[in-house]
Amino acid sequence: METFIEILKSILIGIVQGITEWLPVSSTGHMIIVNDLFPLKVSPEFWELFEVVIQLGSILAVLILFFDKLNPFSKKKAPELKKKTWTLWLKVIVAMIPTAIIGIPIDLLIDHLFGDHPMGMLLLICSALIIYGIFFILIERFGSKKPKIYTDVYDIDYLTAVKIGCFQSLSVVPGTSRSGSTILGASLVGASREAAAEFSFFLAIPVMLGASLLKAAKALLIDKISIGLTEIVVLIAGTLTAFVVSLVVIKFLMNFVKKHSFEVFGWYRIALGVILIVYSLVKYL
């Protein structure tokens, strides 16, 4: 019975991961609430591994949904389109450079300032949720009417990819949301909502895949954490759930942005930020 309950918790966490990883609402803020309300009865070391591995399920969903668009070897593509696909991958790689140069120092600084201060970290997350929420609302109300330079993800040039990468580097601040940062940045530099969302998804592949594999390898090979049958089942359940939910959410978002603005996500972020502030005050005061 206890194992069954842990599996149900992992499925719930997988659902939250699959939804919030791709919508610009911050997976961190949601995971804090879910983990506090429905914590898995596992070691802290296994929980860190679990958080990393279920992201692989989300990434697999992107690879499957956009396989044709991302595959430069497809026999269905004309030579010109194959060339565009290779170029798109190069732009994704170029966009990762600012993430390493800018993002790593910011991440180290945040860990130094807030690593031992959970209340401070929660308030940082709340602030990021609210501030980015306001940005989404302002951009949609005052910037959405401007003509978009890049209506297709293939049209995004190298310089613009670097600019989007700079915005992605800000996602190391907990509560900003990786997809939120890249979509917001892409919108500001002239990408349509659809192109911004797609480029955000593609950027996630090397960033999340690399981080997940490195952390998983460290946990298993260096830290050598103990994993029993229950942990394996919990890991599989959470990862499969994140994969299936991600498939649904990515399709939803791509259809949503064709007809609707991101303003609703801005208001949602503000509401979540306020809820987390109240939650943190009740918990730590």
What pLDDT, in 10s, does the model give residues 38-96?
888 887 778 878 888 888 888 999 999 999 889 998 888 888 999 999 999 999 999 98
Considering only CA atoms, which of 283, 282, 280 is closest in space to residue 120?
280
Give the domain range for residue 75: 2-284
For residue 52 the two structure tokens come to 């990393």
CA 12 to chain centre: 17
Domains identified in the chain, total number: 1
The pLDDT assigned to 145 comes to 67
Q: What is the mean pLDDT of residues 205-217?
A: 78
CB–CB of 125/32 below 8 Å?
Answer: yes
User: What is the number of alpha carbons within 13 Å of residue 10 lying toward its C-beta?
Assistant: 29
Q: Which helix (H) or strand (E) holds 108?
A: helix 104-114
- Which pTM was predicted? 0.85
Q: How far apart are CA 31 and CA 278, in angstroms?
A: 16
Alpha helices in 193-262 (DSSP H): 193-217, 229-259
Output the CA torsion 11→33→186→166 (10° steps).
-110
